[in-house]
Structure 1
Amino acid sequence: MTVSLEQLRRCHFAVDLGASRTRVYVKGMGLVVDQPSVAAMNTRTGALIAVGEFAEKMTGRTPDYIRVVKPISGGTVVDIEIAQRMLRHLLGDKIRRSLRRKPRLRAAACAPYDADPLAQRAIIETLVGLGARRVELVDTLIAAAVGCGLPVERPEASMILVCGAAATQVAVLSLGSIVCAERLPVGGEAVDNAIVQHLRHEHELMLPNQSVRPLELALDGNGLTPYGPASTEIHGRDVATGLARSVRVDTAAVRDAIQTPLMSVLDGIGKVLRDCPPDLVADLADRGIMMVGGSALLPGFDQLLREATGMPVHIAERPDVCAVQGIGAMLEGRIEPLVLDPLAA
């Protein structure tokens, strides 16, 4: 999945297909799409009813003949046809007409670290269906590091933690490449599910699909740290009676419930550091870890990593759009390549 900056400069638009949100960057226009990766289908006619935010609002509120689907899971396209139709509607007629006028339309896309050939092929076919004649794949870790301003082209270590909805990726970068990395099947959705299960088992309470994210309900303030609020009120449906009910939840118990997915992330960071050359680890002691991705905003997550690793931990200015902004910067030619000329004999 190594692609040169010269090839990326020839691309006309870039796509970041995330499990939670889909983002599209068009050369010369900037970020034009930032919508949930959700589509609503009419199962009787096969028609696409809604996409993006409107489709997400329909989740759990539709009649039998309307199905709300997520064609992207963990950065992998699981339904190419619906993903193509969703992208067409998200782009709109005006942007699609301007792209169709480009001779030999080229596209770039973010792909998860260590994505298998089948997953890469699904991403390529999705964009080919939009009219792209050629598709370049860029590792999400590299794109996110560029987007948050890390000096990835220098001969020094940069550590990045991409906290996605379905997966977490951690890597050490140097000289514009990945030195060592790990992809963990744990993300914001796993933490959400741990909280949902805790509320169901301990309080016999079910949360509606369209409620505010469980994390934001249960973990306000300092969230994962003991300095946060002692308790918080949660509204949901009683499992036994089906009636609306409110309970006051001990946030310490919630912190215990989500330790399992968070410990998996810490284990992944430890494995990457163990595989990393000592010289680069020495750099990281001062530079620390950069967190990007929507789940990086989990209250107190950065403090938890800081205490567990003893390293500085920083959150990017706009962690949710770092990957697409990084690949957009490559398209626009704002990144200077590192030239390593062979020495003359």
Structure 2
Amino acid sequence: MTASLDQLRRCHFAVDLGAARTRVYVKGTGLVVDQPSVAAVNTRTGALIAVGEFAERMTGRTPHYIRVVRPVSGGSVVDIEMAQRMLRQLLGDKTRRTLRRKPFLRAAACTPHDADPLGRRAAIETLVGLGARRVELVDTLLAAGVGCGLPVERPEATMIMVCGAAATQLAVLSLGAIVTAERIPVGGEAVDRAIVQHLRHKHELMLPSQSVRPLQIALSGNGLTAHGPTSTVITGLDVATGLARSVKVDTAAVRHAIQTPLTAVLDGIGKVLRDCPPDLVADLADRGIMMVGGSALLPGLDQMLRASTGMPVHIAERPELCAIQGLGAMLEGRVEPLELHLPADD
């Protein structure tokens, strides 16, 4: 990371293309885009109808000739052309004109830790299509660590957990690099799916995927912990009749239903700690785990991790913005590399 700080300071804008949301930071301006990574297209004409929040609200409500697409999956661009069109629309004409005036436009982008060469190439081509002459790639784990204020450049171990919609990434950081990392293909969407399947099988109830947030409704209060509410009422569609129906749901059963995806996250934490050098594990016992990402706000998740691991668990301030804020700090030159003060020769 230290070697690329100078290159990042030359960048003019940064993009965090996530499976759930897309965020854009412009140097000297700040965060200019924070919208869902969704686009709606007319399949008859190929015209782009809507992007962002408006396109997300159209999911499941469109006629057959309008298709709602997500050009980003699991943190990687899967449809370069659509991602470019979505970004152009989200940036708007004014911001695009401002960026095009730069004589040698440079961009930075977040990429998952285990992104393959094709995934990294797709991120580069997406931004090149917006006019960038050079694209710098930054590991999402490092960017999020900087964004939440962790001393990633110091010779001290810090553990970060990026809770995304499609996956959870874990890493131990020290001296501006990743010591060990693990990616678990379980995120907030997997937890929501587990709740939806439980309600369908147990109560024969379907939840509208976009109009409600299943986890927030089913696990209000203390959420995943046993100290939460014993029951809650949920309204959905009856599987047999297709009519609206309300049922009283036992939250203990819901907590049991989501243990399978959450157990995978706990296994990932154990693997990262086993692969970490003993001296760094001692640091982590004191500092604990820093949670970032939109799914870090799942109610009670931090308490469950704290009880299962015995380590301190913290949630970053505004965890969903940590990665793009970290990129912004690098662009603005607010991250200083570690300087070694060697003794002078006699």
Q: What TM-score comes out, normalization by structure 1 length?
A: 0.98
Alignment check: 8 A CA contact 1:152 1:177 kept:
yes
Distance 1:75 1:137 in 2: 13
**Shift in Å at residue 342 of structure 1?**
8.1
CA-to-partner distance for each residue in 1:220-278, whole Å, 9 max, x for gaps?
Answer: 00000000000111111111111111111110000000001100000000000000001
Q: Supply the distance in 2 between the matched residues of 1:3 and 1:33 (Cα, whole angstroms).
A: 28
Structure 2 CA distance, aligned partners of 1:267 and 1:296?
17
Closer/same/farther in 2, CA of residues 295 and 3 from structure 1, 3 Å limit: farther
- Aligned partners of 2:211, 2:341: CA distance in 1, in Å? 56
Distance 2:126 2:54 in 1: 22
Alignment of 1:160 onto 2:151: no
**1:132-143 correspondence to structure 2 within 5 Å:** 132-143=132-143
Show the counterpart of 1:305: 305
Q: Distance in 1 between matches of 2:24 and 2:342?
A: 37
What do the CA deviations read for 1:165-198 (whole angstroms, capped 9, x no partner)?
0010000000010000001111000001001111
Structure 1 unaligned residues grouped into runs of 5+: none
Q: What's 1:333 paired with?
A: 333
Distance 1:129 1:114 in 2: 24
3-state SS of 1:88 partner: helix
Question: Contact 1:3/1:137 (CA < 8 Å) preserved in 2?
Answer: no
Q: Give the conservation status (yes or no) of the 8 Å contact 1:3–1:136.
A: no
**Structure 2 spans left out of the alignment, 5+ residues:** none
Question: Residue 17 of structure 2 aligns with which residue?
Answer: 17
Cα deviation per residue 1:283-305 (whole Å; 9 max; x = unaligned)? Answer: 11111100000000000000000
Q: Name the CA distance, whole Å, in 1 between partners of 2:55 and 2:239.
A: 26
1:239 counterpart residue number = 239
1:146 — aligned with what?
146
**2:2 and 2:337 in contact (8 A); partners too:** no
Cα distance in 2 for residues equivalent to 1:103 and 1:186: 42
Q: Measure, in 2, the Cα distance between the counterparts of 1:152 and 1:215.
A: 33
For residues 258 and 105 of structure 1, do their structure 2 counterparts lie closer, same or farther at Cα, with a shift above 3 Å needed?
Answer: same
Contact 2:2 2:176 in 1 (8 A): no
CA distance in 2, matches of 1:340, 1:11: 26
8 A Cα contact 1:194 1:257, kept in partner: yes
Distance (whole Å) between structure 1 residues aligned to residue 343 and residue 131 of structure 2? 43
Structure 2 distance, partners of 1:203, 1:41, is 36
Q: Return the letter of the residue paired with 1:41.
A: V
Distance 1:341 1:19 in 2: 42
Matches within 5 A, 1:267-278: 267-278=267-278
Q: Letter of the aligned partner of 2:122 in structure 1?
A: A
| Matching residue's letter, 1:195 | I
Residue 181 of structure 1 corresponds to: 181
**1:209 equivalent in structure 2:** 209
- Partner in structure 2 of residue 119 of structure 1: 119
SS at match of 2:339: coil
Shift of 1:341: 7.5
Partner of 1:108: 108
Matches of 1:235 and 1:257 in 2, distance apart? Answer: 19
| Equivalent pair of 1:2/1:138 in contact (CA under 8 Å) | no
User: What displacement does 1:152 show?
Assistant: 0.6
Identical columns (%): 83
Partner of 1:46: 46
In structure 1, the residue matched to 2:281 is 281
When residues 214 and 283 of structure 1 are mapped into structure 2, their CA distance, relative to the original with a 3 A threshold, is: same
Shift of 1:114: 1.4
What amino acid maps onto 1:187 in structure 2? G
For 1:182 and 1:129, the matched residues in 2 are separated by 31
Q: Is the contact made by 1:196 and 1:206 (CA closer than 8 Å) also made in structure 2?
A: yes
Query: Number of residue pairs matched?
Result: 345
Query: Hey, what does 1:221 align to over in structure 2?
Result: 221
Deviation of the 1:87 alpha carbon: 0.2
Deviations along 1:119-174, whole A, 9 cap, x unmatched? 00000000000000000000000000000000011111100000000010000000
What displacement does 1:210 show?
Answer: 2.2
Does structure 1 retain, via aligned residues, the 8 Å contact 2:43–2:67? yes
Q: How high is the TM-score relative to the length of structure 2? A: 0.98
